Structure 1
Amino acid sequence: MQKKAPASTGISIEDSQLFRQSITGAKPIAQDKIPPVVAPRKQKRRTDVSSQNSDENLFWFSDEFEGFVADGASLSWVQPGEDPHLAGRLRRGECQPQVVLDLHGMTTIQAKTELAGLLAYCQQQQFNCACVVHGKGLGILAQKVPNWLIQHPNVRAFHTAPKSWGKHGALLLLLKTDQQQDEHWR
């Protein structure tokens, strides 16, 4: 049997011999087999509100209810018994929102939960105006959000937001508070 000639590696025979001479007597390093330390994983905390509180807030919203039908590009609604000019005041931007909720990228369940949380937060903080940015996208949230808002007893009125707050992708809400301090919005 004949040995095959080693493939040419571009190293001269002299360099190869010099290398072999320099490593004679070298001992291989023993592997200590210590596995790398893995940091313990942190448990994820639930960021949503407690289930009981969430259930109470979601009580007002039904996905089956379709009480609002948009008749044009602008959405406008005033709760029966309220001043019919409230929507016009919202349209003109006479009320500045004290809090903004952005629903971009959320599923309908997440959006409903966040909207319920916003309304509960506004009630707790006594905010009378809020902005809900639902976006345009496929229009799913744009259809659902007004129907959810109509069902909530603390929503006095809503209107498509002025351009500075998101125009057709957002709604300005006027909310009831326990203490109506501003007579202008009564």
Structure 2
Amino acid sequence: MQTSPPDPDDLALFRDFVAGTRPLEQDKIAPVVKRSKQKRPAATSNSSTAEKLFFFSDEFEVFAETQGTLSYVQNGDDPHLAGRLRRGELEPQVVLDLHGMTAQQAKTELAGLLNYCEQQQLNCACVVHGKGLGILARKVPNWLIQHPNVRAFHTAPRSWGKHGALLLLLKINQSTEQQFRELTRR
């Protein structure tokens, strides 16, 4: 877009208006950064990250096509678990959103989620991988199958993201699992 040259009368008016002004001197003192008294979270070492990612191999691929509904139940577990996840009978206690992450970042976050669920004794989680190009939609289920604490997963119901998310059911310790069974019987 071209602009026309300024009007000579406007330039003269501007020069008259700013005549006698001088540039401002910088008299401000740069702010001092205050040190926080809170401790920063300890940086995770490469060995602990590698330990978390131990279960996830990018070469292992069971689900090559992820356009439809995905369903998995660990061998020897109740085959009806995936159906319960599909119907929304089990509500996730935590949600992990992987939108905008690279595959490596998503793998690390997924390992962190599974570790968090184990520490907090959470048995149901939702992983939102999105649809996009389908990279995470293909990788996430294949990573989850490899983890020993994943009992089952299923494509999430519409309220939790449908084909852009998975609901997971995780292994928890025996006493918490008994409490879970009592809650689901009601």
What TM-score do the two structures reach when normalised by structure 1? 0.74
> Match of 1:74, as an amino acid?
T
Question: Where in structure 2 are there 5+ consecutive unaligned residues?
Answer: 1-7, 11-15
Moved over 6 A (4+): 45-48
| Deviating more after overlay: 126-135 vs 60-69 | 60-69
**d(CA) in 2 for partners of 1:9, 1:148:** 72
Alpha-carbon spacing, 1:81–1:69, altered in 2? closer, same or farther (3 Å): farther
Residue 32 to residue 67, structure 1, CA distance change in 2 (3 Å): closer
Q: Counterpart of 1:183 in structure 2: which amino acid? A: R
Deviation at residue 54 of structure 1 after TM alignment: 2.0
**In 1, distance between residues paired with 2:162 and 2:60?**
25
Judged with a 3 Å threshold, the aligned counterparts in structure 2 of structure 1 residues 48 and 156 are, in CA distance, closer, same or farther, namely farther
The answer as to whether partners of 1:68 and 1:150 remain within 8 angstroms in 2 is: no
For 1:57-76, list aligned pairs within 5 A. Answer: 57-70=52-65, 73-76=68-71
SS of the residue aligned with 1:147?
helix
**Candidates 80, 95, 104, aligned match of 2:99:** 104
Question: 1:164 aligned to 2:159?
Answer: yes
Q: Confirm or deny: 8 A CA contact 2:66 2:138 kept in the other structure.
A: no
RMSD, aligned CA: 3.3
Query: CA separation in 1, counterparts of 2:121 and 2:43?
Result: 19
Counterpart of 2:148 (choices 133, 147, 153) is: 153
CA contact (8 A) 2:95 2:127 kept: yes
Distance 1:32 1:159 in 2: 65
Cα distance between partner residues in 2 of 1:71 and 1:58: 23
* Correspondence for 2:118: 123
Residue 183 (structure 1) aligned with residue 184 (structure 2): no
**Bigger proportion of residues as helix:** 2
Contact 1:123 1:177 in 2 (8 A): yes
Query: Structure 2: which amino acid aligns with 1:61?
Result: F
Task: Report the 3-state secondary structure (helix = DSSP H, G, I; strand = E; otherwise coil) of the residue aligned with 2:109.
Answer: helix
TM-score by length of 2: 0.74
CA distance in 1, matches of 2:42, 2:102: 14
CA distance in 2, matches of 1:42, 1:59: 40
User: Which position in structure 1 is the counterpart of 2:44?
Assistant: 50
